[in-house]
Amino acid sequence: MKVGVVFGVSELADPKSFEKKASEFLTALAREFDVVGGFFVSTKGDLKEAKEEVNFNEVDAIVLYPLTGGTEGVLKEFSIYRRPIVIYGDPFNNSMAAGIELREYFRERLVPSTLVKGLNELKAALLGYDDMKEVLDKFLRMRIGLIGRISPWLINERFELPYTRISLKKFYEYYDATTDAEGWKAVEGIVGRAVEIREPQREELVKAGRIYLAIKRILEDYKLDGFTIGCFDLIGKLKATPCLALAMFNAEGTPAACEGELNSLLGMMIARRFFDKPAFMGNVADYDENHVILAHCTAPLIGRYTLRSHFESGMGVGVAVQMPKGRASLLKIRGRKAVVAGVEVLGVEHSDFRCRTQVKLRVEDAIDFIDGTLGNHHLLVYVDAEELADLLSELGFEVMLY
């Protein structure tokens, strides 16, 4: 197991006074593991030098040893590597205090992080991460993208994980590089399999295909595993929406969220990576004691579907999908917290005053669920709720299971 080691020393302290302690620590650790690094860092300059000498993306875990307090600011930068972190604290020089602060910083960013105070504990923590390597790599090495901006009405959206930002200007460059003929070819099969086509004309369908192709090429060029897009911003310029493109990507296996919401995208990616299932991202449209209705204008094409316009704007191409009946889960992620509920999909709903895909779910104690959940958008995933909750806990989420 390859382990990167970094020591933190306050700028107010003399690193030489800690050299013996650090040397003994490295020697002991090297008896059990392949150790790289062993740097002292106090400043951003030290951090830059350490990064130039060791590629921490290639280690299996990182050990951070704050030898003094006041090292939190520089050591927290190791969260960018998305590798499991063990923080070693000792009872002197405010080492433990710094360690506790660092641990919470990493956990808030969903980086697995453990605080230990002895070499046996350290060894056990590292071996534990090694046992979970396959699961953690699936989660920690995801590459996600945001096209455009987070929609301004997502007032609770807060996201601390790294992601790639692609501007709308760049998106339009990709869109302009597509042709109408390519756009039609991209959606022709989808159009042919639709149960009905109501509002959209060929022009809208072609635009939807061109949006799909533009995003597909962005995913390839930026090497992204999933994406979300600030979809409403496309309406003003293109008089179109990406609803159909998102439906196609989710059906094909690429997690795709709307409104620029990264937390929902994260949940979609977990569902796909660990269960190979698409997720329907929906608004809570209504509820009563034992039911919740979700609605949105995009959904994975996993049932019979009708092509409609986008509900709010009356433009573009939305989808009304008949989501399959059966047992499933509702999932809401925000930061390191997650809410999961076991549900039964009862069937579709029909209202001209809601988004196009509408689904009614049986949820026990739905009123309590609504009262305790973390925001609007929820994911409907056809997986067992307890299995999903267990996985999320394993990945470091604080989970409430209903």
The chain-wide mean pLDDT, for the chain, equals: 97
pLDDT digits (tens, 9 = 90+) for 281-328: 999 999 999 999 999 999 999 999 999 999 999 999 999 999 999 999
User: Looking at the structure, do residues 124 and 214 belong to the same domain, yes or no?
Assistant: no
pLDDT digits (tens, 9 = 90+) for 216-247: 999 999 999 999 999 999 998 999 999 999 99
pLDDT digits (tens, 9 = 90+) for 128-169: 999 999 999 999 999 999 999 999 999 999 999 999 999 999
User: Looking at the structure, do residues 63 and 77 belong to the same domain, yes or no?
Assistant: yes
Reading the block at residue 58, the tokens are 């290639």
User: Looking at the structure, do residues 118 and 155 belong to the same domain, yes or no?
Assistant: no
User: Looking at the structure, do residues 135 and 160 belong to the same domain, yes or no?
Assistant: no
Q: Nearest to residue 1, comparing CAs of 85, 127, 90?
A: 127
User: Looking at the structure, do residues 101 and 6 belong to the same domain, yes or no?
Assistant: yes
User: Looking at the structure, do residues 197 and 304 belong to the same domain, yes or no?
Assistant: yes
Kindly state the average pLDDT of the residues 269-273.
98
User: Looking at the structure, do residues 104 and 163 belong to the same domain, yes or no?
Assistant: no
Domain of 128, in residue numbers: 2-139
Domain boundary among 139, 159, 192: 139
Model pTM? Answer: 0.93
Domain boundary among 82, 117, 139: 139
Q: How many domains are contained in the chain?
A: 2
Query: Cβ(379)–Cβ(268) under 8 Å?
Result: yes
Residue 327: predicted pLDDT = 98
User: Looking at the structure, do residues 197 and 325 belong to the same domain, yes or no?
Assistant: yes
* Band of residue 24 on the pLDDT scale cut at 50, 70, 90: very high
User: Looking at the structure, do residues 25 and 77 belong to the same domain, yes or no?
Assistant: yes
pLDDT digits (tens, 9 = 90+) for 319-376: 999 999 999 999 999 999 999 999 999 999 999 999 999 999 999 999 999 999 999 9
Please give the radius of gyration of the chain, using alpha carbons only, rounded to the nearest integer.
Answer: 24
Which residues sit opposite 7 in a β-bridge? 40, 65
